[in-house]
Amino acid sequence: MNAPSRNRPRARRRPRDAGAVLACILLGGPLPASAQGPEPQPPTAAGEATKEKKAPQPQPDLEFTATAGFQDLNRRGSAAEYFRHHSPPQGLYASLVRLLRRDPGGFPLQEVWWRNAGEADQKGYVDLHVRNAPSYLRYSRETAEFFADPGVPFSPFSSREESRVRLHLERFEGKPTPTLDVQVRDQDVAYPFLKRLLPDRGINYRAQEYSIRGTAPVGPGRLYLEPRVISFDNRVGRQQDSHTLELNGELAHPVGRRADLAATFEQISTEVGARDTAVWTTVGLRGVARPTDRLVVEALYRGQTVGLPFTRTSFADRTDLGLVQATAYPFRRGSVTAGVFHQAVSREDRDGAGSTDSSSWNGGLLRVRCSDPGLWSFSARVRFQELADAPAFPRLDTLRAESLYYTQDLSGKARLDLFPTQRLSLYADYGHRTRRNQERDTRVTMNAVTAGAVAQLSDRLTFSAEFSQQFWDGSTAPLRTGPGTPVGAIPLRFYFSDGSLITSSLAYQVDRRSVLDLSFNNFIASGGQRSRDTLALLHFRRNVSPVFYYGIGVQIEGFRESRPDRDYHALPLLLEVGYRRRFK
Amino acid sequence: MSVRLPKRRTGRLGALKIAGCVGAFLAVSVAAAALTPQVGAQAEKPARAPAEKKREKPKKERPPDPDAPTPEAQLVGASFCSAPACHGAMLKDFSSLRHSHYVSNPKLGDAAGCETCHGPASDHLGDPEHRKIFRFSIQTRENARRINETCIKCHQETVRKPHYESLSHTREGVSCATCHEVHYDLGTPYLLRLPGKDGPAGRPLEERKLKQLLAHARTERQIDGGTEGQPPPVVPPAAGAPAAPAPPAENRPTLEILAKTRVPIAAWRSSFTRDPHVVTKDQAVNEICGSCHRRELSEARGLSHHPLLEGRMGCTACHDPHRSEGGRLTTGRMLSRSSVSETCLQCHQQLRGPFRFEHEPVKSGGIGESCMECHRPHGSPNRGMLVMPTRAVCLQCHVDIQRDPPHQSRTGSCWRANCHTAVHGSNHSREFFFE
């Protein structure tokens, strides 16, 4: 779509000081003149107008934002339940500190951003971009405290701390160029008490990950290479440290203008203590072709070999997957996708006789989509697969030798969107999945229905409501065979849990400076798990001036679980005051 | 009692058969595609020399694509686009984005500016319907590919071309522009479109942005659907011309046009209050994903769930919306790593092992779904994000345990009775009694 290259004036390359560029990336300072390249022009001055004098940009150079908050949780009841997913700040806290330096053109160059500084749950990052290239250095860190297992109510908090560094180097040439990413990830995780692992000391480890990802154009295609090293340092329990080396590569290459090929390779090697090295090797070939404007054909092969030299239990040591599917677009607003696949699985039975058995998945998929933009859209998909020659489990400690694997898997999903008026949108989503083990006559079924509406009641008022219900069911016949009711067995009606959720929200733009958010959520779990979680939230925010703003929020929270009997109630009150200033 | 099974092995032969079948099918498809003349690509290629045209076989005439420049289209320069009566208001906003900095780079020559992405605009200037140019606001299948191919010219590092054709998103007509806004500075991470940005959740955009989009969307609606009156009159690009009058209120774009069927997300308890000016990256990602993926969002509000809505993590921790690999390859879960287990192990490294005694489904390598045999990663009505509560999750496979006398006297879940505590794998116990 670009102009013929012979008509373009050849851009004159200017020498660049690579060291200075790298230093500037690392230090975040301004680029030296020799490294900044030609002065960029705004779009209005492109082409033959590039020689025109650049209009002064009134954008600010520095933007500072600070928000202080105060929150009183007003919690009563189980702390373990209340904090099981997060630890909101309490008392006076620094909600946000942000310093942003913009280019005179207006886009961000360097940024320091820190939410909930010093609190249990906090996030922060430092972004250092350069001006004339999409290169950057990013450092981010986040910490979190929570209750990993509310079943141990008086245990200390669990914690997760994570730091990441990413250095991305890339040049802008107006054409594909090589890129290099150096990434470091450091995780420090501690779950002091898990009921499952008592009396041991829970989970406590540090995992460090180093990776280098390089990509480079290869002809019209592109090569991706990414070696990664993961070091796992276990601090408690009996688990040993491990060292993992991952090698990933992919070559993507077009074939003419209507086909693309990609070849992938992945090898994961893990050393555990002084044992041998376990190796997962995967090779893949993917091709996509568009024989006509209304047909897309895709084929995929993926083969994986697994070597677990010291593992004494069974595992699949080789799998080969082949997939062929085609997508047709018979009319402008619709598409049909159909495909078949075959996956051969070779399994080393180290639990039993040490033999190798073979099984295979065979299946197909169908997807239909059609729409009339602005009025409605509909999509549906079905996927079915069946396991042939399911492996048996001839173990002494199980009563039956039939396969433990599901042998049939059927899943489907349908979604309908309606737009009766310009300000009203309705949607309904249905999902289904059935998994069946024919040899053991067991079945698990899930049905999920979601329906909702969004209405723009006026220019200032938006309302949304949604109902979602998930039903779980299954065949319990095998559990009921035999005389009497098994002693100690849970009643069969408690084998499945259903979940329902009602969500609604109201958003109101009070005036040009003030907004109001109101939302309500009610979740109910029934069946094997019986609990109720209610949340109502009201939040008001106002920009007093371009410099000052404030927000006031109140939540009404309630949670109750029947088995075991645990609950909490909370009425968090939140006040935030913000200051935002732009400097030249 | 050990039953010895006959040794069967498909091995290399089976793999070769599968690879051969796939390869043969692929070769035929690629050959067919290579031999098929490109119909919609003339506009993207420079005009061919007359001698080259003569070699082409005569083919059936197809109507020209109204949303693509003709092969004869010429570059006109961004100064035409920025006329006040045309796209001046938009370009004013666009000029503050990093993209504008790059597309105005002199290295692009005459194509610098809007035409870097939108193609030569000479036809567009003379077209009474204002078409004949690549428009990124139309969500049709053809245009989705066109948009993606335009973006991928620079973003090959993020989007691998053979993958996006396989993405469920692509089949649904979702393009880069569906999630990313490249013209207006919304101040969001990764240029994400964000329902509720600069306002409460549910209000798509602040008033100024709304007006800008309104004018744009009105034009698009008239062109695309043809249901709202006649195409707008031709406005020649004249410097100093007055700005177009604001469209009437009844033409306010629908949520579908503004937010591409996006549904606002009701607020949820979080450690990080939702500041409309400075949303966190995770908040932005979750809102853009959750606005379409409603069932998954509902699950994230269940009894146990990954802390997405609490602000502690984002959908992209597990998913890469630009890749089609991962999990059940046939459905394309767009996982960030090559398999379900590798995706989970990113954060749950303590389960990596490998163990001397592996629980087979965890690293089954193809027969099962590894972690998802027992867990629902988005959320569940059961503790521990389990598919079924307590011991029922084990009995979904081990049905005979229910009637096994030694097990009948046990109560509670299989792992909390201080028995099978190392269900993910053990180095010391075949029965997973301890690590």
Residue B79's closest chain A neighbor by CA? A44
Q: Which residues contact B380 (CB under 8 A, 6 or more apart)?
A: A497, A499, B299, B302, B303, B304, B305, B386, B387
Q: Which residues contact A59 (CB under 8 A, 6 or more apart)?
A: A102, A103, A104, A105, A106, B96
Mean pLDDT of A20-43: 40
Task: Tell me the shortest Cα–Cα distance from B240 to chain A, in angstroms.
Answer: 14
Tell me, yes or no, if A159 comes closer than 8 A to chain B by beta carbon: no
Residue B392: phi and psi, rounded to 5, are -60, -30
Residues of A in contact with B380 (CB under 8 A): 497, 499
DSSP per position, A209-229:
EEEEEEEEEETTEEEEEEEEE
Q: Are A582 and A63 in contact (CB under 8 A)?
A: yes
Structure ipTM = 0.86
Residue A230's closest chain B neighbor by CA? B349
Tell me, yes or no, if A567 comes closer than 8 A to chain B by beta carbon: no
Interface test with A, best of B67, B224, B265, B399 (most A CBs within 10 A): B399
Q: How far apart are CA B46 and CA B71, in angstroms?
A: 7
Q: In DSSP terms, which residues pair with B354 in a beta bridge?
A: none
pLDDT at A6: 37
Residue B282: phi and psi, rounded to 5, are -65, -40
pLDDT tens per residue, range A167-200: 999 988 877 889 999 999 999 999 988 877 777 6
pLDDT at B139: 59
Enter the DSSP assignment of A349: -
pLDDT at B255: 32
Least confident of A320-334, B101-115, B177-191, B304-318: B177-191
Q: Are A418 and A427 in contact (CB under 8 A)?
A: yes
pLDDT at A525: 94
Q: What separation in angstroms does the CA of A507 have from each of A259, A339, A503, B267? A: 47, 43, 13, 10
pLDDT tens per residue, range A465-482: 999 999 998 876 766 655
Enter the DSSP assignment of A15: -
Cβ contact, residue pair B365, A317, below 8 Å: yes
Cβ contact, residue pair A44, B78, below 8 Å: yes
Residues of A in contact with B63 (CB under 8 A): none
Q: Is the pLDDT of residue B175 over 50?
A: yes
Tokens of A39: 């002065």
Under the banding of pLDDT at 50, 70 and 90, the label for residue B240 is very low
CB nearest to A238's CB, from B115, B150, B427? B427
Q: What separation in angstroms does the CA of A323 have from each of A290, B26, B328? A: 17, 11, 11
Under the banding of pLDDT at 50, 70 and 90, the label for residue B5 is very low
Mean pLDDT of A260-273: 91
pLDDT tens per residue, range A129-140: 988 888 999 999
Helix H or strand E segment including A295 = strand A295-307
Q: Is the pLDDT of residue B288 over 90?
A: no
